[in-house]
A and B are shown apart, each in its own frame.
Chain A
Amino acid sequence: MQLTQTEAWYLGEAIKGETLMSRKLATYREMAQDPKLRALIENLERACERHLSLLSSHVK
């Protein structure tokens, strides 16, 4: 698949955004006091991993 310039830009931004989000979530998981919030953060981390995997699959 040949990416357009715009697609490549958005793809790169999305990957950077998800990566940053993932690191933030890891930090917050350690800091969170409420078990419910921690569970929520763990779910978000898994979603982040899926997103990164999906986005990366479009980069050949």
Chain B
Amino acid sequence: MPEVMGSSIQREITDREIAEDLLATQKHLLNYYYAPAILEAADQGLRSAFQEIHADAANAAKSIFDYLHSRGWYQVRMADQDTLASLRNAVLQSRQAVNSSLSTGGNSMQQGQTGWTGTQFMEGQSGMGPSSVARGAQWGGEPSWMTGPTGQFQGGYQGNAPSYARGGFGAQGGSGWQGTTWTGTQYGEGQSGMGPSSLAHGARWGGQPSWTGAGGQTYGTLETQNLPQWTQGSYGGQSSFGAQQGVIGRQAWTGTQYGEGQSGLGPSSVAQTAHWGGEPSWSTGFGGQYGSGQNINLPSWARGGMSAVQGGVGGSGFMPGQIPQGFQQGYAVQNWQSGLREQRGNWQQGSQGNWQSQ
């Protein structure tokens, strides 16, 4: 029996109190002993010891929590809808902030540029040929410079793109910039102007270059201008055709969304219908946001992966030769189509299935 101030207090300590005290003690050890000790240890051996004990203590704390929880002594409260909504909003803002800082990470933007939408990390970008990570080019036994005049030596605009965004060999080909508008690719996306795109699996597997896709980011409507950049696609193709068209009054980014297959007339980089089916995506419809604008307020994670929602296969997409909804509003489709034919004409398929510029 515990004694306090000389008088005995007859009180049993309960199992619950024991467990709660043990949990509190474990938390204290974790937070005030081992966590800072790990940070402050200069010696690797000692640091590892602290880390090991820290992990042990965390596991012990979980065991004690489980014990308390199983008996209803440690109630957890689920987050309410308001909290979740606030959390989602915080995630959006965070991503916008991070993306904004990434996209302006280089030098100052060019005059007249309303926002840098250039290449993101590890992305292949090419103007007229395979980009740095164009594995199609590498596996085809042909260096990227043989298939098109790529490289960031063309044009001076690329100086504004952060170095990490430029890729290695031949990244950022010449037509990524048009005028003062950068219309480059986003993370992981295949972009090409006249050659196979960097990650365009369709080009590699389907034997078709990405330039057959005119999934330009500028064809969409201005309604998408409020989309955060992180919603911009990982894999959707943003061809240079789009970039060229985008010179016209480009104010808004209307590019590919995350995970979406976007193509104009060719397989987009993740247009799986293209490479799995052996068929280019343009034969089944157009991905991308050329369809109706009703999706524009949806965050990208709500849109589905492969264009199905945003006018992909079977969606509200359009077929070759047809002017898509939302597309008709702002741009001269004739120019786009004729430009495409011209661009196509400069390419032919090589003996190894590679596409080469004439």
Name A's B-contacting residues (CB within 8 A): 1, 3-4, 6-7, 10-11, 13-14, 17-18, 21, 24-25, 28, 31-34, 36-37, 40-41, 43-44, 47, 50-51, 54-55, 57-58
Contact = CB atoms under 8 A, between A and B. Distances in A.
B49 A54 contact: yes
Nearest to A1: B43
Contact of A36 (B36, B40, B43, B67): B67
B41 A10 contact: yes
Nearest to B66: A40
Contacts of A7: 37, 40-43, 46
Contact of A37 (B33, B46, B67): B67
B64 interface: yes
A14 B18 contact: no
Interface of A is mostly: helix
Contacts of A11: 37, 46
Contacts of B34: 14
A4 B42 CA distance: 8
**Max chain B C-beta neighbours (<10 A), residue from A18, A21, A50:** A21
Given A10-B33, A24-B25, A41-B18, 4 more contacts: A24-B22, A32-B18, A37-B15, A54-B53
A16 to B, nearest CB: 9
- Interface size classification for chain B: 20 to 34
Given A31-B18, A37-B19, A3 B67 contact: no
Give the interface SS of chain B, mostly helix, strand, loop or mixed: helix
B249 interface: no
A17 B13 contact: no
22 contacts: A1-B43, A6-B41, A7-B42, A7-B43, A7-B46, A10-B50, A14-B33, A14-B37, A21-B25, A21-B29, A24-B22, A24-B25, A25-B22, A28-B18, A31-B12, A40-B19, A43-B63, A44-B60, A54-B49, A54-B53, A55-B53, A58-B43
Contacts of B63: 40, 43
B18 A37 contact: yes
Nearest to B38: A10
B56 interface: yes
Interface in B12-36: 12-13, 15, 18-19, 21-22, 25, 28-29, 33-34, 36
A60 B67 CA distance: 39
Interface of B: 12-13, 15, 18-19, 21-22, 25, 28-29, 33-34, 36-37, 40-43, 45-46, 49-50, 52-53, 56, 60, 63-64, 67
A18 B34 CA distance: 11
B64 A47 contact: no
B67 A51 contact: no
Given A7-B42, A28-B18, A40 B33 contact: no
A50 B60 CA distance: 13
B46 A51 contact: no
Contact of B37 (A10, A41, A57): A10
B45 A58 contact: yes
A51 B45 contact: no
Contact of B60 (A10, A37, A47, A55): A47
Contacts of B45: 1, 58
B73 to A, nearest CB: 11
A51 B56 contact: yes
Contacts of B41: 6-7, 10
